[in-house]
Structure 1
Amino acid sequence: MSQEHFNVEQFAAEYAGKSPQQILQLALEHFDDLWLSFSGADDIVVLDMAWKINPDIRVFTLDTGRLHPETYRFLEQVRKHYDIRIEVLSPDHQALEAYVAEKGLFDFYENGHGECCGIRKIAPLRRKLSGVDAWITGQRKDQSPTRTNVPVIEVDSAFSTPERSLIKFNPLANYTSEDVWNYIRMLEIPYNSLHERGFVSIGCEPCTRPVLPNQHEREGRWWWEEATQKECGLHGGNLIAKT
Structure 2
Amino acid sequence: MSASLSQADIISRELAALTHLEARIGFIARAVAGKIAFSTSLGVEDQVILHAIATTGAAIDVFTLDTGRHFPETLDTIESSERRYAPRIRLIAPNARDLESLVARDGINGFRSSIDARKACCDVRKVRPLQRALAGARGWVTGLRRGQSVGRHSIPFAEIDTGLGLLKLNPLADWSLEQVEAYIAANDIPINPLHTRGYPSVGCQPCTRPVRPGEDVRAGRWWWENEDGKECGLHNRPIAESS
Same fold (TM over 0.5): yes
Question: What is the alpha-carbon distance in structure 2 between the residues aligned to residue 52 and residue 144 of structure 1?
Answer: 29
* 3-state secondary structure, aligned to 1:132: coil
Question: What is the alpha-carbon distance in structure 2 between the residues aligned to residue 12 and residue 170 of structure 1?
Answer: 9
Question: What is the alpha-carbon distance in structure 2 between the residues aligned to residue 212 and residue 17 of structure 1?
Answer: 36
Residue equivalent to 2:184: 184
Residue equivalent to 1:138: 143
Residue equivalent to 1:28: 29
Question: What is the alpha-carbon distance in structure 2 between the residues aligned to residue 78 and residue 71 of structure 1?
Answer: 11
In the alignment, structure 2 segments of 5+ residues that lack a partner are: none
Match of 2:84, as an amino acid?
Answer: H
User: Is the contact made by 2:157 and 2:173 (CA closer than 8 Å) also made in structure 1?
Assistant: yes
Match of 1:62, as an amino acid?
Answer: L
Question: What is the alpha-carbon distance in structure 2 between the residues aligned to residue 21 and residue 83 of structure 1?
Answer: 18
In the alignment, structure 1 segments of 5+ residues that lack a partner are: none
Structure 1 pair 238/190, CA: closer, same or farther in 2 (3 Å)?
farther
* 3-state secondary structure, aligned to 2:159: strand
Question: What is the alpha-carbon distance in structure 1 between the residues aligned to residue 130 and residue 84 of structure 2?
Answer: 25
Tell me the number of residue pairs that the alignment of Structure 1 and Structure 2 aligns: 235
**Alpha-carbon deviation of 1:224?**
1.4
* 3-state secondary structure, aligned to 2:219: helix
Residue equivalent to 1:211: 211
Question: What is the alpha-carbon distance in structure 1 between the residues aligned to residue 68 and residue 77 of structure 2?
Answer: 15
Question: What is the alpha-carbon distance in structure 2 between the residues aligned to residue 235 and residue 40 of structure 1?
Answer: 16
Question: What is the alpha-carbon distance in structure 2 between the residues aligned to residue 18 and residue 150 of structure 1?
Answer: 17
- CA-to-partner distance for each residue in 1:135-171, whole Å, 9 max, x for gaps? 11101111112111111111113x32xxxx3011101
Residue equivalent to 2:64: 61
User: Is the contact made by 1:147 and 1:238 (CA closer than 8 Å) also made in structure 2?
Assistant: no
Question: What is the alpha-carbon distance in structure 2 between the residues aligned to residue 130 and residue 55 of structure 1?
Answer: 20
Question: What is the alpha-carbon distance in structure 2 between the residues aligned to residue 4 and residue 174 of structure 1?
Answer: 22
Percent of counterpart pairs with the same letter?
38
- TM-score calculated relative to the size of structure 1: 0.90
CA RMSD between the two structures? 2.1
* 3-state secondary structure, aligned to 1:228: coil
Q: Which segment is superposed worse, 169-178 or 116-125? A: 169-178
Structure 1 pair 178/97, CA: closer, same or farther in 2 (3 Å)?
same
Match of 1:28, as an amino acid?
Answer: A
- CA-to-partner distance for each residue in 1:182-222, whole Å, 9 max, x for gaps? 11112111000111211100100011111122221100111
Match of 2:47, as an amino acid?
Answer: I
Residue equivalent to 2:197: 197
Question: What is the alpha-carbon distance in structure 2 between the residues aligned to residue 172 and residue 3 of structure 1?
Answer: 21
Match of 2:200, as an amino acid?
Answer: V
